[in-house]
Amino acid sequence: MATLNGYLDQLLSRGRAYFSLEEAVSALGISRGAFIAAAARMAKKKRLACPRRGFYLILRPEDWIAGAPDPIRWIDPLMRYLELDYRVSLLRAAAFHGSSHQAAMVFQVIAPKQLRSYELGRHRLEFIYQEPSSFARVNQPEWLGQIKSVAGYARVAGVELTLLDCARYFHRAAGINGLGQIVKDLGAKADPRRLASAAEGYEQASVRRLGYLLELFEHARQADALESFARSAKSMKPLDPSIQPLSDAFTVLQEINSRWRLVINEVVETDT
């Protein structure tokens, strides 16, 4: 009978550093309980890590300090195991596309199902929920890219989706200033037509927020592509809805941007 240790070595020799509980039980010819007990012993020896119940990572010595490999090496097989579509986005995607100011301390994944965020070793994974119909509308191959790693490829938001995701979930992208930095860094790379087409899948207020920042940082073609979303707006929205005015008088004194139908209730600050 094959041992778990031998099974792990066999997988690594084939260039594969992950497996499911079902695969291991079948290959080893043991019960689920026996495998789980053996896997727990391997985890104590820093040979295995388990990011999701039933899905295991094989750790190499170079993974021991961080406690697990970079999630880019295993997010795609994990999501396939969970039978969920996904895209890597927000800070990790912004860094991938060249927003060098974004030190991605968290690995953020957008999915059409609510999943618990967690830490694995030194890595922090954050799953952001997008309503399924909106997710299906925008998670299209022409708006996605790929991040290559030693283990294969992971699906990543293209520049346009990265900008829209960061505008929609800006509180998870280092706040309004973090969003401003990303727009400043990446805005010129966005294709105006693709940006406008993908924006159809997002809330109007998020698109207007992005349009305002594109204009602020002089990405005129990209901003112009989003102007129609503001023209159809029926009410003013705050640039940063998390900021509550101290009084009604303070609200009156804030700048009103008529083009984007936004109340500019925060000064956006970025690095030079």
For residue range 184-233, list pLDDT tens digits in order: 999 999 999 999 999 999 999 999 999 999 999 999 999 999 999 999 88
pTM of the model: 0.90
Average predicted confidence (pLDDT) for the chain: 91
Answer yes or no: is 261 within a domain. Answer: no
Distance CA 220, CA 210 (A): 12
57 and 102 fall within a common domain:
no
Residue 93 and residue 206 share a domain: yes
Look at residue 104 in the predicted model and tell me its pLDDT: 65
**Do residues 177 and 100 lie in contact, with contact meaning Cβ atoms separated by under 8 Å?**
no
pLDDT band at residue 249, thresholds of 50, 70 and 90? Answer: very low
- CA 78, 84, 86, 92 torsion: positive or negative? negative
- Residue 129 and residue 215 in one domain: yes
Query: Can you give the residue range of the structural domain that contains 122?
Result: 73-236
> What is the torsion angle, in degrees rounded to the nearest 10, for the CA atoms of residue 153, residue 210, residue 224 and residue 99?
-50
Across residues 31-54, what is the average pLDDT?
A: 94
Can you tell me whether residue 256 is helix, strand or coil?
strand
Please say which residue of 46, 68, 90 terminates a domain. Answer: 68
- Read off the pLDDT of residues 100-143 as tens digits, 9 standing for 90 and up: 765 667 899 999 999 999 999 889 999 999 999 999 999 999 99
Task: Tell me the CATH number at 55.
Answer: 1.10.10
Residue that is last in its domain, among 68, 94, 119: 68
> Does 97 share its domain with 13?
no
Q: Are residues 187 and 173 in the same domain?
A: yes
Q: Are 104 and 139 in a shared domain?
A: yes
Q: DSSP class of residue 58?
A: E
Residue 245 lies in a domain: no
The verdict on 119 and 45 lying in the same domain is no
Instruction: For residue 267, tell me if it sits in a domain.
Output: no
| Domain final position from 68, 84, 114 | 68
**Do 8 and 78 belong together in one domain?**
no
Based on the fold, state whether residues 44 and 97 are members of the same structural domain: no
Are residues 15 and 149 part of one domain? no
Q: Does the structure show a pLDDT above 60 at 150?
A: yes
Q: What is the mean pLDDT of residues 268-272?
A: 83
CB 102 within 8 A of CB 182: yes
